[in-house]
Amino acid sequence: MEKKSRVVVITGASGGIGEAAARAFHANGDVVVLASRNRKKLEMISASIPGSIVIETDLSDEESAKRLVSTTMEKCGRLDVLVCNAASIIVSPAPEVTSEDLLTTFRTNVIGHMVLTQEAIKVMKLRGGGNIINVGSPGFMMGIPYYAPYVTSKAAFSAWTRTLQAELTDEHIYISEYFPGYIRTDSAPVSRIGEISQDFLMEEKTDFISKYFTRPQSPETVARHLVRISLKPKTLTYSGFTVNLGAWIALFPSFRLRLARGMAENARKKLNKQR
């Protein structure tokens, strides 16, 4: 390992944004630590990323989250960048969401990353600093239909991120929040409403807002953003114009409801066709 190489830990690295980020950080000259529950996929990805390290991690288990940091330190001796990307997604009508649905998403999306971050901060302080990038979601501002457990947990994760930013002012540990938009990935959510496609909320229309909100971004684009943020930390970064536009629209209830209700109607139509 070259002295200048950073050690970058990426959660949710078994596909989608996490896998793309691992490849982008490796291309930047960093040593990447791949973390997720799916060891088989991690090993397949690691085989094509020289020098990468696989650490099987279940963020819903707090001890597993802690071991990710301790094992990284044992293998690499340092931790320079932590990318908190993993997410549990459950699709369900809001009136049918159970307490266990919320607990499942919160264990991974909030608590697991909270514990992981606390452990990372300890070792980063000893080394004089580090970067933590939390991949959030602007969906909680919009109120994405059928994704209540996910967007609720992401709202809490955003609050956690912003509290860290307020507190860690003199530690040389930089906390960045990143909001991706609609990303085309191969990650399948847990669905309580039957088999669904990733874009079941979306429908191409002629009006300006729908046209741009239904255009997906690639994980590779997001990965390049994450590398840039790790080199030059920012408080909040949106993945593109449409995401920034969505955050602005969310400030206006009538516009927000128009877009969100349109998504809900698209979903109902597609679900009715399946039945």
Please give the full DSSP string across 215-264, using - where no structure is assigned. Answer: -PBPHHHHHHHHHHHHHS--SEEESSHHHHHHHHHTTSHHHHHHHHHHHH
Q: Identity (one letter) of the amino acid at 84?
A: C
The count of C-alpha atoms lying within 13 angstroms of the C-alpha of 248, restricted to the half-sphere facing its C-beta, is 8
Q: Is 207 exposed, middle or buried (0-12, 13-18, 19+ CB in 10 A)?
A: exposed
pLDDT of residue 246: 79
pLDDT of residue 272: 77
pLDDT of residue 207: 46
Q: What topology is assigned to 7-198+217-244 in CATH?
A: Rossmann fold (3.40.50)
Q: Identity (one letter) of the amino acid at 213?
A: F
Phi, psi of 119 (to 5 degrees): -70, -40
The CA angle 184-69-174, to the nearest 5 degrees, is 70
What would the pLDDT profile of 190-230 be if each residue is shown by its tens digit? Answer: 888 877 766 666 655 534 444 445 556 789 999 999 999 99
- Looking at the DSSP assignment, which residues form a beta bridge with residue 91? 191
What's the token pair of residue 240? 């593109």
pLDDT of residue 269: 81
Question: Which residues neighbour 5 within 8 Å (Cβ) at sequence distance 6 or greater?
Answer: 29, 30, 31
pLDDT of residue 130: 97
pLDDT of residue 171: 84
Q: Is 192 exposed, middle or buried (0-12, 13-18, 19+ CB in 10 A)?
A: middle
pLDDT of residue 99: 97
User: pLDDT under 70 in the chain at which residues?
Assistant: 1-4, 184-187, 197-216, 274-275
Largest CA distance in the chain: 59
The count of C-alpha atoms lying within 13 angstroms of the C-alpha of 268, restricted to the half-sphere facing its C-beta, is 8
Q: How far is CA 34 from CA 110, 255, 266, in A?
A: 19, 40, 36
Domain ranges of the chain: 7-198+217-244
CB 45 within 8 A of CB 69: no
pLDDT of residue 185: 65
Q: What residues are annotated to the active site?
A: 150
Question: Measured between alpha carbons, how far is 117 from 49 in angstroms, rounded to an integer?
Answer: 25
pLDDT of residue 4: 67
The alpha carbon of 178 is separated from its chain's Cα centroid by a whole number of angstroms, namely: 8
